[in-house]
Chain A
Amino acid sequence: MMIAAPASVAEIQDAHSQASGAATPLLRVQDLTIAFPAAVGREAEVVSSISYEIGAGEALGVVGESGCGKTMTSLALMGLLPPAAQVDGAIWFDGRDLTKLSARAWRSHRGRDAAMVFQEPMTAMNPVMRVGDQIAEVLVRHEGMSKRDGFSRAVQLLASVHIPSPERRAQDYPHQLSGGMRQRAMIAMALACRPKLLVADEPTTALDVTVQAQILDLMLELQEQHGTAIQFISHNLAVVSEIAHRIMVMYSGRIVEYASVGDLFANPLHPYTQGLIKTLPEMGQPGSDLYTIPGTIGGKRPPGCRFSNRCPLADAGCRQAEPALREVAPRHYVACHKVN
């Protein structure tokens, strides 16, 4: 009963083609690999040669379970990877390759060209700085505003994310705000310099459903007002389906499927995507046994396809060669030997 009929597939596709346009994409990630010096029992490569694009004003959803590499991919866009990380490949953003940036250039990129919203705003904000001052800091740094002007702009920004009595809230410390309000303040901070790309890593996971709905509404509203592109990361397929134009499903450091929201849910092709959708409680009859993806996440990667040890379709071929991501229908990409 929780599922509405997928009648709006065509609409979603329309919206997508309008949003992405035909010009050069805002962001083009090419063969991005992120590796760490191997620790015992750990995979050294957390992201393996992934490529994708985000058009100006487009919302891309990134879905996957723990350890699939979705957070590392986002941190790479912001230059926030741990120092030990070895990055290969290119991240083209607005005509330049971010992997080549100096520390100084990163600092001017972060907050101005691209900004990030984290899962837990309490740990992402400075606990001993007033909310208004934190937002003003971004404006002082990037726009050269005076502290005073920055603060009054911060109040306007808090109002624009629908925080009641913004003048008073700007004087508050983060712990004085509720979880939902902190996340609104984070979004206000992220959007302070009108970035072209907003990276949101599980921004609603720590929130209650009614507050989650408010934050999703807010992100859509701001995106439509300012035409901000969004990379929205979540483990929750339903949340992503309501905010994204396109979805990228990741498993064990690889993109396994990449398609428009309409195509992905109407015609999921990768066995992992199919499993993720079938496993949702709202897909089963009440009280019946749900579909389960066998096995567990993590552990040693099998040879060949990384999903082969959990895949119901896997055969000897799958355990030998890793499948490449290929376009099997217009703008519908999948990495599976078993898909024609």
Chain B
Amino acid sequence: MAALLDVQDLNLRFPIGGGLFRKPLTLHALTDVSFTVEEGETLAIVGESGSGKTTLGYAISGLLTPSSGHIRFGEALSGAVEDRPVQLVFQDPFSALDPRMMVGDIVAEPLRLAGVPNKERQERAETVLGQVGLNAESAQRYPHEFSGGQRQRIAIARALIADPKLIVADEPLSALDVSIQSQVLNLLNKIKRERSISYLFISHDLGVVHHLADRVIVLYLGRIMEIASREHLFATPSHPYTQALMRSVPRIGRGRRQPGQSLKGEIPTPLAPPPGCVFHTRCPKAQDVCREAVPVLEPAPGRPGQMSACHFKD
């Protein structure tokens, strides 16, 4: 497999506030993020709110410009924003679709921007609506006539119509009811099988990630804590933060909770990330070195494919 996407040392900082006598603050949204996405691979990004997941998705889609670092797409692709073979699917299918456009026009809009003639646009819109499980008449209707799950299908159809190589899906299931989630999850799986498309799948739901992802990045305060194959990450999580995330997920069949195992505190503000390891303020393993030196992302002991940024990794 060739790398479809190569991200290197990506940094994204936002200046905040500031005034005549006040120095602007800097929000460190992403710091030194490097990874690749292979063709046909699903790479999941997990982490809590404020970890930079969405910012990363936007940077890769070209909606945000990195402060430094590179985002390169495979050979033959210039990487210029307008040539990016990327499409986005957003979390909330109610705000992601223009309520005054007909579904056919919404779905065909990427083609209109690319200058495809109207007749071909309409045909392709109907085909792709069929592929996401909606009938051809849907093209003549408006978004409000559809349920949440159906709207997310429309958003997915719009993402698919221009034949992207990569779909960035930002929490595409979290606004949906449980019984509808599995329908959309199956649809994403089917598209992947049929088109050998790659996904950058942003989610906080580890159950969904375990089901869909080939590899997983764990993000915390804009830094990669751990990156590993799904098997390794779930079987032998290396980073204390990954381990804490796994422990936090409620599970059926365990009976009532045993209190006292949850991680203390909350994610600090990205305006003033802690020095050293950004996780040390909540880490049960933290020592003096963690408060001073930023740990390097290195293979976990005996597991070369599993990279973990921790001075005391397992």
Contacts and interface: CB of A to CB of B under 8 A. Distances in A.
A6 B253 contact: yes
A216 B182 contact: no
A276 B178 contact: yes
B108 to A, nearest CB: 25
Interface stretch (A21-29, A45-53, A100-108, A287-295): A287-295
Contacts of B207: 2, 280-282
Nearest to B47: A208
Interface in B143-201: 147, 149-150, 177-183, 185-186, 189-190
Contacts of B210: 1-2, 281-282, 286
Interface in A151-209: 178-181, 208-209
B263 A241 contact: no
A261 B186 contact: no
Interface residues of A, number: 58
Contact of B259 (A3, A209, A210, A221): A221
Interface stretch (B2-10, B72-80, B84-92, B242-250): B242-250
A15 interface: yes
A85 interface: no
Nearest to A217: B259
A211 B263 CA distance: 8
Nearest to A216: B257
A242 B254 contact: yes
B253 A241 contact: yes
Contacts of B22: none
B191 to A, nearest CB: 13
B59 interface: no
A157 B48 CA distance: 27
Nearest to A224: B259
B287 interface: no
A102 B10 CA distance: 62
A314 interface: no
A253 to B, nearest CB: 16
A44 to B, nearest CB: 20
B253 A289 contact: no
A249 B90 CA distance: 30
Nearest to B205: A281
B179 A65 contact: yes
Interface in A242-290: 242-243, 245, 261-262, 265, 275-277, 279-282, 284, 286-287, 289-290
A1 B246 CA distance: 11
B256 A180 contact: no
B271 to A, nearest CB: 13
B253 A297 contact: no
A297 B147 contact: yes
Given A220-B256, A275-B179, A209 B249 contact: yes
Interface string B42-78: 0000001100000000000000000000000000000
Contacts of B211: 281-282, 284, 286-287, 290
Interface string A221-249: 10000000000000111110111010000
A179 to B, nearest CB: 8
B256 A15 contact: yes
B266 interface: yes
Interface in A286-312: 286-287, 289-293, 296-298
A241 B254 contact: yes
B206 interface: yes
A66 interface: yes
A2 B255 contact: no
A12 interface: yes
B262 interface: yes
B28 interface: no
Nearest to A180: B266
Contact of B180 (A236, A241, A282, A296): A296
B208 to A, nearest CB: 5
A8 interface: yes
A3 B248 contact: no
A213 interface: yes
Contacts of B204: 208-209
B1 interface: no
B136 interface: no
A212 interface: yes
A242 B259 contact: no
Contacts of A280: 178, 182, 207, 252
A209 B179 contact: no
6 contacts: A65-B179, A208-B48, A209-B245, A281-B207, A282-B210, A289-B190
Given A209-B248, A286-B212, A286-B230, 6 more contacts: A2-B206, A213-B263, A239-B250, A242-B256, A280-B252, A281-B182
| Top 4 closest pairs, chain A to chain B, by CB | A213-B262, A8-B255, A281-B211, A208-B48
